[in-house]
Every structure is written in structure tokens, then in C-alpha cells.
Structure 1
């Protein structure tokens, strides 16, 4: 049997999925032990015991100066900014993407403009946002929205234009207006695809957020990472990076669950492919 036709059993699939994570942990343990053997004060690859002490200090100990637990206060601050930016970008992406995909005049007017805007590196305009909007929450949220929205608009517009034209013809033959066509034909098919688009933008959204927090912020996960880097506190940085990764993964899982629950027909069609 050809390799392309050989499928792993469910149990083996889970084992194979875990292997890369186990390999990374083993390699880290070996590299950390080697460095600490040469220099017990080495900070680059701290031992798991040192990382555990840092986790207890950051996640379960109240900071005397602020009266808060650092990890959780940073998480709340970052997630608030992230959800606000992603929410604004998703709304803009859905509305403009569908409008550009459905309306030829609007596509002619904004199609190329959005394509050009989507090529602008969002981090390059971060200083402009800080100058015009200040160093508060608005500029950080705006960076996420500006960085994500153009890509969502283009993706949704392309997905709308890829829909079979026969659907539009049949709907109009049955007397559907442009508004009815959007609500009854386009929107039900685009919403599950919009969730896919948002899933693909979770990573970039975190990148924009951490960049903004690192430059100008007094709270947040990115702020904390860049605050402790001056002390080479890898025992704090590594858990924070792992925590950010876990949060992003949970967001991914939540969106997949939402898609399956709200649009079971879409998940069934994807599984059947």
C-alpha cells in the first residue's frame, strides 16, 4: 500500500501528535542539564525547578507593590485588548468583505485599495498610532484591528466571489432583493468561513498585541516579558511564552467548537472531503 493511503489508527494518531512535544521537552532537559553542569548560575536554560519557582511567584503570589497576582492581571489586560481588537476587525471584515464581494461597484471602488492597505506592515504604523492616539488602550486595540481587518476583508470578499453564480441567479429569479440575497444566501455560507479566517489571524493578533505592549504599556503579557528580559529572567519568560501559546490554542479550540455547534453542515462537509 502506498504511503499516501496509509492512515494511522486513532490511538497511534494521538501518540504521534504527542511525540514532537515530548521531543522538545527532552531536548530542553538535556540542553539545560549540560549548561547548568558547566555553569550552575546559567540563566539561559533554567531547570524545571527554577521555572516552577517562578510560576509560583508569578501565578500564585500577590505582588506587594501592586496588590495583584502578576500573571492573572497581565492575562486579563492582554485578553481585553485582544478580544476588542479581534472583535472590531471581525465586524469590519465581515461587513466590508461581504459588501465588496456582492456589489460590483463597491468591489471596483475598494477592491484594489483594500489589497494595497493589506500589504502595509502593521508594526510600521505603530509609531503613528502612538502619536495620533496616545499610549493608552485605543492605540493597542487599533493596531490589532488595522493589522487584521484588511486581510479578513480580502479573504471574505474572495470567498463570496467564489460562490456559485447560479445561487445568485436562482435567488433573484425567486424575487430576492439585494438585502435578502445577502441575508439568506451569502451570510449563512460565509459565517463558518469567517470563523476559519479569524482562526488564522489569532497568531498575528497576538504578535501585534505583544509588540504594542512591549513598547508602551504598564500591564499585559507582552509588557511583562519585555520588562523581565533586562534581568535575563528566562524562568519567567518561558512560562509566559508557554501561557500565551496555550491561550491562543484554547481560542482556536473554542472557535472550532463554535463552528461545529453553529454550522454542523459545514463541519460534516469538511469531514467528508
Structure 2
């Protein structure tokens, strides 16, 4: 008898098992919505799919009467620009400082304690400070994302460099490689795919910091729109926006995974996902 731990579902079974939880959640929502609307047709907590569809159409395909913009796309573009810039800056800092800390003991002695201390500061606690220092514009929002995830990326990259086999570094030095050559030709190629993995893991936090910043001070953005319409209990707008954010996060994660697979195929030969 085959043990449960050794049983692997087929490709079709994996797809069905992946869809099943979403289908159950959808059925549960439909059932709960029908019950609430039957008791109170004006209930806003769980709107019918028809109301959600009308709200999506209005936000995405009808120009706003006051601004003339298609709000869903304007909000999406504003949020993605902030998120992209914040994640890019964080990734660059993680790569440069993390590799330097891991490869050069002098850098590690001076910077590692500071990075560790910064990583322990709750980013949301310094959000008012960022607004005071940088104002209510784009800089403070990007800064919050960067401060929120850059220390994590730096520490992760530092640890990945320290985990590289010491024999590789010794052999390269035996062949006459300089410190700069060691970093560029031995260390960097091995940690780049790990950086992409770390960025994927940090995307959830990046979205959290983005939504928080937009909710407090913004004139457009997905987080701004959600917190704007909550005062009217407009769940027919809030729910689609939440699902849209989830879809954008999933697509970003998927694209990073594809980029890693195609750029570093050797990284997945060991059975990585």
C-alpha cells in the first residue's frame, strides 16, 4: 500500500484540486449573498454579482463625470508605478548591500548591525515621519515600500552569499581571481535567481505598505479608492478592487517566476517550484 506522503496527484488532479477551494468560496458567497438580499434587498455587505458587474463596468469603462478619467485604470497605473519603483529600489539595495555584506567581512562588520536594526523597525510606525520629511507626494509612498522590504532583501542576500560553498571561493582565488572578479563571476551569478525569489516573497509586504500609504494620503490609487468608497459601504466596488489587487499580485509573481526559469534554468534542476 502506497503511503499518503508518497502519493502525487496527476496534472489534471492538481488543476481540479487547485480550483476546488475557489469554487467552494464562490458558492459560499453566492449562498450567503442570496440569504442576506432575501432578508433585506438593500443590504450592501454581500452584493449580488449583477451589482458587482455594474460597478466594475462603471469604474473601468465609463469616464468619471468629475474628472473624465476611467478610474480603475488610473488607479491601477498609479499604484503599479509606486510599487514598481519601490520594489526596484529595494532589489538594487538588496543586491548591492547584501552581496557586499556577505562577500566582504569589513562591510559586514560595519553595515550588518545597522541593517538588522532597521529591519526590526515597524515600517508603519515611521509612516508619519516619512510624510513629514518627504511630504504627501509620491516620494513618501515609494520610501515606505523601500524601507519596508529593502532590509529583508539585504539580509536574505547576505545570508545567501554566506551559504555559498567556500571551496568555490578558494579555488577561484587559487586561479588568481581578484575580489572584484570573485563577486562578478562567482558570487553574483549564483545569487541573482535567489534575489528574484526573495522579491517574490516580499511582494505581499510591498502591496501592504502601498495600500496603507495610499489610504492615508493620495488622490488616486487602488488603496485610495478602496478607503474612499468604504464610507459609503460600497462593497460592490471594494470587493472587485480587492480581487483586482490579488490578480495583479499573482501576475507579478508569475512573471518573476517565468523570468527566473528562463534566465537561470540551472536553478530549477534541483526540483525547485
TM-score over 0.5 (shorter chain): yes
Q: CA deviation at 1:11?
A: 0.5
CA distance in 2, matches of 1:270, 1:109: 37
CA distance in 1, matches of 2:134, 2:266: 43
- Cross-structure match for 1:229: 230
- Cross-structure match for 1:75: 76
Residues 39-73 of structure 1: CA distance to partner in whole angstroms, max 9, x if unpaired?
Answer: 11000000101101100111111112111100000
Q: Select between 165-174 and 108-117 the one with higher mean Cα deviation.
A: 108-117
- Cross-structure match for 1:164: 165
- Cross-structure match for 1:40: 41
Q: CA deviation at 1:115?
A: 1.0
RMSD: 0.9
Alignment of 1:56-75 (within 5 A): 56-75=57-76
CA distance in 2, matches of 1:270, 1:121: 35
- Cross-structure match for 1:51: 52
Does residue 178 (structure 1) correspond to residue 179 (structure 2)? The answer is: yes
CA distance in 2, matches of 1:19, 1:124: 39
CA distance in 2, matches of 1:190, 1:161: 11
Q: CA deviation at 1:270?
A: 3.0
CA distance in 2, matches of 1:130, 1:109: 29
- Cross-structure match for 2:14: 13
List, as ranges, runs of 4+ consecutive aligned residues in structure 1 with deviation greater than 3 Å.
none
Residues 174-230 of structure 1: CA distance to partner in whole angstroms, max 9, x if unpaired?
Answer: 000000000000000000000000000111000000000000000000000000000
What is the TM-score of this pair, normalised by structure 1? 0.98
- Cross-structure match for 1:189: 190
Q: CA deviation at 1:106?
A: 1.1
Q: CA deviation at 1:123?
A: 0.7
CA distance in 2, matches of 1:112, 1:14: 45
CA distance in 1, matches of 2:164, 2:264: 17
Residues 62-107 of structure 1: CA distance to partner in whole angstroms, max 9, x if unpaired?
Answer: 1121111000000000000000000000000100000000011111
- Cross-structure match for 2:149: 148
CA distance in 2, matches of 1:33, 1:94: 51
CA distance in 1, matches of 2:262, 2:25: 34
- Cross-structure match for 2:244: 243
CA distance in 2, matches of 1:4, 1:172: 45
Q: CA deviation at 1:268?
A: 2.1
> Which stretches in structure 2 are left out of the alignment for 5+ residues?
none
